[in-house]
A and B are shown apart, each in its own frame.
Chain A
């Protein structure tokens, strides 16, 4: 393939990436973020897969079978716990504006600049080789595409058996230009402007896009090899199993040859990958710093392992396919490129190269940005601030300086990577360099994870742990790799130990043999790391700042922003803090921040702000985002007068916050119960008021009722008094009326008294056995006159047998009369019809028979609308419209109901408007009712027509 085509396509692809990144930034500025989705978040995590995945995995699979897998199984396990652990990291980072691993560790242990610098140094040393590997992958891939025969012999990550080809002079080396171009792109992606949150939305969008390209390209090659060159995956495996060398790769251990599976190495690889997927700078950057929302983690924790699974499905088929076709003559690492190329699929090969380019550039860009942030904030800035001249410079705007430091750092890292690539060349040092880098960043685990969960970790402990871990890592992994490539250190260092001291052999420390070098190194470095961390931390009690930071970190989930304790005491002035902020964040941004803060805290303007501890902490947090927490602390301390806190003060401040929180919770509860109580009181008040109204109504209606007969009595008696000569007949007539009215009066008064007595339970009841039929008949007779006046018909339907009930006869009669008189009131004149029915229903139970007697009074009046049906039984309520309300007290029905219920019965109303009303009541029949009598046999019907009497 022509070099021009490859170069042009590569450039076009990089420009496409740049376009995606610009679009992402543009959308972010508009407020419609492109990356606000858990899928994008998960895809950005896939930056874990670098060119090592593309080339190295296939190479390892071809020589060792399934040993490429632990690197991806580790992240699977890590993601299982990610929702718990990474979420806490995100919360801490967001709350305290932490923008890198170095800052995280430094901030936790009292904002220590030393720790920050150490972590940065470890990161740079560990990562430079890894970057060199990516550069090498790109250059080898380019070589395969343009000069297949020559390049097939060179390898990416394994030692080459042939003599190395002559390296070109450095200014002719295309890899240098690759490095420079990548540096340029990285600067454009990540160091165009300073964002104190260190979020780079465009970069994340581009990385996610790259992840998709990577996956698709790899799957495409996989499908091509499996189904284009063979008859499917099964075919490849079948053929491979037929070849002994390849069949070996697919089993775990071979008892025949005594080769056993190195389970301890398997375990340590998984452990290593598990830690690296979080502590690699690029992983921390995309997972924690660039995170948009914690909730995205929910989906990403399983989508990311799924991505890893998919990208690894075809690794074995490709490796085995290549080995089957070419034996060991070709370099297995470049199978993704060489296989399509050899069978004429140039486009696919180019696509695969773009995929590899994606993987490499993704890693380099994110890693360089992350490391440059660390270098700027935690190495350069503290150093610069220490220079007295610099620190005292007046109000120069430092944002431009920070930006240039970042850019230089990016360039520096990439050039270092290139340098390493040049010096190591084909050397052994590049073998498994990825794993050596992993082992370096794994040293952060004790200090970082311990810091998140253990309040006892101290700065000294973290320092000790990191130094021990890093030192052992260098001694057991890094130096031997130099020795094995014949670089600086003689081979005897590894074989016989330094100066011949066998016990200090770097790969068999203290005589511990039988482990591969990686497991051996991991064991010793992590063991001493943890031991030093815990041991030194427990040596002395934590200092003030360590305690306060520990509380803030470990308890981050327990605190909301509102009750975050502020561990600071002193004096400050806004006039000093504002310019300080402007120096590092720019004038505009600083003004905006202060204005927002003032508004939030109810100050009239920025000048009216109280420069209290909270403001100082706010300023420090904002600055930490730009220059790292250690430097931020130093800068703020330089403009304020701080009073030193001792441990008691810290505890007291903490207690105060806890108390405030407890008080505010109490307050909330009290106010809630107050609300409830108020609501209840309001309800009770309303009830009382309505009762009051009812009482007034009653009073007015009763007095009205009393007055009416009294008026007629008075009028008539006065008439009789005034006219002594009145006719006897007339006088008799009047007297009759007077008598009737007095009777009415006393009836009314009796009713009221009755109601009162029944309600208060003071009524006397006489219970006796009565025949309901007789009562009903009596009632009908008594009201016959009333019905005759209204010209209404009354039907009575009674059963033939006796209907005994145990009741107070008078009261029950009262009830029947009440129902009848009501019916009479509401029945239409001249065509009214009332039907009185008595029925008995018998239910047979285990204990014998029980019966229920029902009396119903049905009229054909206007009926009662459903909404009023419950109301008619309420005291002082009368049915019918206000205008045509007939005379009454409204007490009849309530009294009747009380009576019926007292005797064990139930009164009810059935009615629909226009179809009359049926009032009725049920009562239990007396026991020992004549049994065997079916209800309602030969009912006795009595008709009373207007012409009848009695």
Chain B
């Protein structure tokens, strides 16, 4: 794997995740709304989490030859 590209992507994902999961970006989801019957805030947290897992899986499993 192209080590430096992978490392850079991981670092970027780390900071993106850190920003998304903390104030102030986290406050964006502070609305008493529901999506598909599920309250917005918990749903957003789980959704961001799932997206991060997917992104991480993509970065780690893509072959960079």
Contact = CB atoms under 8 A, between A and B. Distances in A.
Contacts of A302: 53, 56-57, 60
A298 B42 contact: no
A253 interface: yes
B38 A81 contact: no
A305 B60 CA distance: 14
B45 to A, nearest CB: 6
Contacts of B57: 302
A252 B30 contact: yes
A69 interface: yes
Interface string A295-316: 0001101100110010001001
A531 B7 CA distance: 28
B10 A76 contact: no
Interface string A237-251: 110010000010011
Given A252-B27, A309-B49, A316 B42 contact: yes
A66 interface: yes
Interface in A43-94: 65-66, 69, 73, 76-77, 79-81, 83-84
Range of interface residues on A (Cβ < 8 Å): 35 or more
A266 interface: yes
Contact of A80 (B13, B37, B50): B13
Interface bracket on B: 20 to 34
B29 A252 contact: yes
A298 B57 CA distance: 9
Contact of B23 (A233, A251, A267): A267
B41 A250 contact: yes
Nearest to A234: B37
A270 interface: yes
Given A66-B45, A69-B45, A80 B10 contact: yes
Nearest to A65: B42
Interface string A185-218: 0000000000000000000000000000000000
Contacts of B50: 309
Interface string B19-59: 00111001101101010111101100110011011001100
A261 interface: yes
A171 interface: no
Interface in A282-331: 298-299, 301-302, 305-306, 309, 313, 316
B32 A267 contact: no
Contact of A83 (B6, B22, B23, B27): B6
Nearest to B58: A302
Nearest to A232: B37
B22 to A, nearest CB: 5
A76 to B, nearest CB: 6
B30 A77 contact: no
A238 B37 CA distance: 7
Contacts of A247: 32
B60 A237 contact: no
B61 A234 contact: no
A79 B60 CA distance: 11
B29 A77 contact: no
Contact of A313 (B39, B46, B60): B46
Given A76-B49, A306-B53, A251 B10 contact: no
Nearest to B33: A251
Given A66-B41, A302-B57, A253 B49 contact: no
B5 interface: no
Given A241-B39, A305-B53, A261 B60 contact: no
A73 to B, nearest CB: 6
A76 B60 contact: no
Nearest to A313: B46
A241 B37 CA distance: 10
B52 A305 contact: yes
A251 B52 contact: no
Contacts of B17: 76-77, 80
Interface string A5-29: 0000000000000000000000000
B56 A251 contact: no
A252 B42 CA distance: 9
Contact of A233 (B29, B38, B49, B61): B38
Nearest to B23: A263
Contacts of B29: 252
Contact of B39 (A251, A253, A267): A251
Interface of A: 65-66, 69, 73, 76-77, 79-81, 83-84, 233-235, 237-238, 241, 247, 250-253, 261, 263, 266-267, 270, 298-299, 301-302, 305-306, 309, 313, 316
8 contacts: A73-B45, A80-B14, A80-B52, A83-B7, A238-B37, A253-B30, A261-B27, A270-B22
